[in-house]
Structure 1
Amino acid sequence: MKIKHPILKLVLSCLGLTSTCVIASPVFPNNNKVQTSNISSKTPGTILSIQEENTGLFTNASQRFLITYRSRGVQSEPIVTSGYLLLPKAKVPQGGWPVLVWAHGTTGVADTCAPSGDYAGGPVHVYQQIAAKALNAWLARGYAVIAPDYQGLGTPGGHPYMNAQSQLHTVVDAVRATHHLQPYKFSKNWYVMGHSQGGAASLKVAADGQKDAPEFNLRGAIALAPGGYQYEGIAEYVASNPQITTDVAAFFPIVLLGAEAADPGLAPANLVSPDMGVILNSARNRCLSELQSDLKAAPKTVFKPNVDLTHLTNYLKKQSIENMTPSVPLLIVQGDKDQLVDYRGTYAYYQQVCKNQKPIAFHPVKNGDHRDSLRQSEFLIGSFINSVEQGKTINTCNSK
């Protein structure tokens, strides 16, 4: 496995040394050197390593740190997760900076797809440029921003793409990690915002985040074009359509490999045709953007003849967003011309939440594509935050 970023190489070397890579609390020094904490710690949120980086795309950030921290995996086992932390230029308020956790969209399952390792010309750079504008809007409002990579992206182990429990853990433990960064002060108030894959993560956090981290105060959640409505449908669609598009052919291996990372018994290599197996193997080392540009033709068949997909579809169904009922105010933003996340599915989820009488607002983006929900978010967060903080009702269920 090739690791591009030096801090990830350091973490991997420390994993073999356990307690020999130990210092005191992770107070950031006045230089650019890496610091590491107790790599054997199982306490969620423990910062394991930290390094300052250039703020780069984040023009409203005063400082940017690359971190690794202890989190929990699919089965709540201790794992190492990477991410980056942005501090605003605003003066620290008396109660500390409030926190936004950013849950990113689909990049792939390979280590090189971790957004914290982004670089100009890299496989996730175009997406990061769009995300940076959205996050700069939060920084301008005085929020610290923590952006986890999710389990297995840039760190040991596979990435269980769209696994609800794993995404909940990496997001919640990112909040804990932020509060371990000394000598800075952070408020216990926090929000989560995510796009696409991260939109599904935001919905899971909206449902269970406060219960998972009762020591903090989850104020609200924003889901931008959230994927995962009737998630098992992607497998059923591929199985029932004799000729899929190249876009689906590039994306579906990520679904399969993510399921395998969460449940090795799924073994997608035993399910797919030889032609699809070639793309599947490529997806182990290539990001979504690379798969999309490399793939010139979709395979004629995806699955082996008479394959039993029951195990796969049952697993995918458990990750579906309709299993998630928000317990905090929720804003959903969805482009009505989105070709990747169906507007109809997102709206059906919204109606489900309305029936449960939970505080939710739905904002359609007219003629918006998949990334327009992310682009528009910077213009929508202000009114949502103000409504939450002022205790106003968040509800568009009765509007026409």
Structure 2
Amino acid sequence: MNKRLATMVAMTCAAAAVAIWPGATAAVAAPVDSFYLPPPLVDQTPGTVIRTEPLAIFAAPPGADGIWPITGQKVLYTSRTQDGDAVAVSGTYIDPAHPWQGTGDKPTVVIAPGTSGQGDQCAMSVAFSTGLYADPAMLSLSANQEAISAATWSSLGARVFVTDYIGLGTPGIHTYANRVEQAHAVLDAARAANALADSGSTTPVVFWGFSQGGGAVAAAAELQPDYAPELNLEGTWAGAPTADLTAVLERIDNSNLIGAVVGYAVNGFTERNPDMRKFVDELVTPAGKDLLATLSDSCIADIIFKRPFTQTSSVTVDGRPILEHLREIPEVVELLRQQRIGTMTPSSPVLITSAINDDTVPHGQARQLAEDWCARGATVTFRTNTLPPILPGAALPNHLGPEYIEGYGPDSAVSYLLDRLNGVPLAGCTLD
């Protein structure tokens, strides 16, 4: 990382930290409101901007004119479900407050957030203004996890669009970890951002995501040639990508602080696949069904503080983990197989990073994604973070810690994507 970039990252990290800290602003983010309810009739073309609303962004450094907060927009745009139905998705768009620091045209950076929850109040756009959403009545809390990434790219002069994903903020269940729907939300966010900027399809685009976001942008990168071929995608960072959902859910369900997020996946897949619902109804106890209902309206912080180390074996009728049951049902096995990322080929370079001691998203399945893509002729760089294990099962040190090292440290994901945007050549595969 060059000195100028390092300085910018340090400044934006500091600004974002101030914005996220609960006492740094007079009020927390406004609750979900009518903005997120789509009109009865909308243009069903993917990437169409349905409506926008001005949004003061505290979680970013001042603009070039020194004014703070900078002004962004809350956006409602059109995307597609796995079945091809039009659906409204929300997100946050930030016009650059500084000149573009790279070469060539000003790019669009689409950020796919890490796991924030399944309740509408957990959408990143809800927390984006002040950096925090808190509802004392619901005892629910959600922080803007993407404040630092958005601030970093904004300070470099790029347009930033942070998607909320399908069903977060907007009506319906968030289809957590759904390969196709997360990819569509990311790709259509790029289309919406280019429409807002009136910049056209030649605009350079890069994708940025970690954990759930890493899986979302990885899926978007491999679906882009078919779903959004007009996009000028220059590169992707997929940090700790959830490429093999079965492996990820099994790891999380094994004495992990955020084990209850398995419920997010169950809720999402039963919503889109009604046949799966009857299997879940047979396998889960009444208390387990109540838990799934509660999780559908919770944020990741709620799980950490109220339901840490939840295991599905505690809510099944025979005490076996729910994945053990689902592996015995051919229809569900096929459904989980369809969620595997790596069966298509990205046409642009991808950086995949994974920690060898990640206790949440297994390193092996991330490396397998790199190997699968390389075998298909894609241009992939795979890097292993060797941070030693710290409190295994606690998720935060071994999973989130490497994000900041790989994202912003020396030889970072920021530097990698800047090189792609600056036209630095890269070919073939590098796997460490």
TM-score category, normalised to shorter length: 0.7 to 0.9
Aligned 8 A contact 1:63 1:88 in 2: no
2:23 matched residue in structure 1? none
1:79 matched residue in structure 2? 87
Q: Distance in 2 between matches of 1:70 and 1:5?
A: 23
In the superposition, relative to structure 1, how do residues 249 and 56 fare at CA in structure 2: closer, same or farther (>3 Å)? same
Aligned 8 A contact 1:85 1:147 in 2: yes
Name the amino acid aligned to 2:284.
Answer: V
Name the amino acid aligned to 2:74.
Answer: L
Aligned 8 A contact 2:114 2:213 in 1: yes
Structure 2 counterpart of 1:328, from 323, 330, 348: 348
Q: In the alignment, does 2:139 pair up with 1:110? A: no
2:160 matched residue in structure 1? 145
Aligned 8 A contact 2:104 2:422 in 1: no
Shift of 1:56: 1.2
Structure 1 counterpart of 2:386, from 366, 389, 396: 366
Q: In the alignment, does 2:419 pair up with 1:386? A: yes
> Which stretch of the first structure deviates more once superposed, 351-360 or 138-147?
351-360
Aligned 8 A contact 1:275 1:301 in 2: no
Map 1:269-284 onto structure 2 (within 5 A): 269-284=281-296
In the superposition, relative to structure 1, how do residues 7 and 169 fare at CA in structure 2: closer, same or farther (>3 Å)? same
Q: In the alignment, does 2:76 pair up with 1:68? A: yes
2:297 matched residue in structure 1? 285
Shift of 1:190: 0.4
Q: Distance in 1 between matches of 2:32 and 2:308?
A: 35
Q: Distance in 1 between matches of 2:399 and 2:369?
A: 17
In the superposition, relative to structure 1, how do residues 228 and 327 fare at CA in structure 2: closer, same or farther (>3 Å)? same
1:53 matched residue in structure 2? 55
Name the amino acid aligned to 2:120.
Answer: D
Q: What is the aligned-residue identity percentage?
A: 24
Structure 1 counterpart of 2:306, from 294, 299, 314: 294
1:263 matched residue in structure 2? 273
Give the count of matched residue pairs: 366
In the superposition, relative to structure 1, how do residues 354 and 228 fare at CA in structure 2: closer, same or farther (>3 Å)? closer
Q: Distance in 2 between matches of 1:104 and 1:223?
A: 11
Shift of 1:87: 1.4
SS at match of 2:117: coil
SS at match of 1:232: helix
Shift of 1:218: 0.9
Shift of 1:80: 0.7
Q: Distance in 2 between matches of 1:151 and 1:89?
A: 28
Shift of 1:70: 1.4
Shift of 1:11: 4.6
Q: In the alignment, does 2:98 pair up with 1:98? A: no
**What is the TM-score normalised by the length of structure 2?**
0.76
SS at match of 2:399: coil
In the superposition, relative to structure 1, how do residues 233 and 179 fare at CA in structure 2: closer, same or farther (>3 Å)? closer
Shift of 1:79: 0.6
1:120 matched residue in structure 2? 132
Name the amino acid aligned to 1:295.
Answer: R
Q: Distance in 1 between matches of 2:209 and 2:259?
A: 24
Q: Distance in 2 between matches of 1:237 and 1:382?
A: 31
Shift of 1:96: 5.4
Q: Which runs of 5+ in 2 are unaligned?
A: 1-28, 64-69, 135-139, 389-397
Aligned 8 A contact 2:47 2:77 in 1: yes
SS at match of 1:83: strand
Q: Distance in 1 between matches of 2:356 and 2:62?
A: 30
Name the amino acid aligned to 2:289.
Answer: G
Cα deviation, 1:252-307, whole Å, max 9, x if unaligned, reads 11110111122122113443123422321210111122022112674653433495
Name the amino acid aligned to 1:351.
Answer: E
2:371 matched residue in structure 1? 351
Name the amino acid aligned to 2:34.
Answer: K
In the superposition, relative to structure 1, how do residues 332 and 236 fare at CA in structure 2: closer, same or farther (>3 Å)? closer
In the superposition, relative to structure 1, how do residues 235 and 57 fare at CA in structure 2: closer, same or farther (>3 Å)? closer
Cα deviation, 1:198-244, whole Å, max 9, x if unaligned, reads 11111111112133222221111110111132x23456679xx9xx5
> Which stretch of the first structure deviates more once superposed, 193-202 or 262-271?
262-271
Q: Distance in 2 between matches of 1:237 and 1:342?
A: 7
Q: Distance in 2 between matches of 1:345 and 1:92?
A: 36
Name the amino acid aligned to 2:126.
Answer: G
**What is the TM-score normalised by the length of structure 1?**
0.81
Q: Distance in 2 between matches of 1:6 and 1:283?
A: 18
Shift of 1:146: 0.6
Q: Which runs of 5+ in 1 are unaligned?
A: 19-38
Map 1:22-33 onto structure 2 (within 5 A): none
1:159 matched residue in structure 2? 174
1:168 matched residue in structure 2? 183
Cα deviation, 1:161-214, whole Å, max 9, x if unaligned, reads 111111121111111111222667885210111111111111111112133222
SS at match of 2:147: helix
**Aligned structure 1 segments of 4 or more residues deviating by more than 6 angstroms:** 92-95, 183-186, 235-238
SS at match of 2:223: helix
Cα deviation, 1:115-171, whole Å, max 9, x if unaligned, reads 111152546644x25x22222222222210111111111101221111111112111
Q: Distance in 2 between matches of 1:206 and 1:298?
A: 33
1:9 matched residue in structure 2? 34
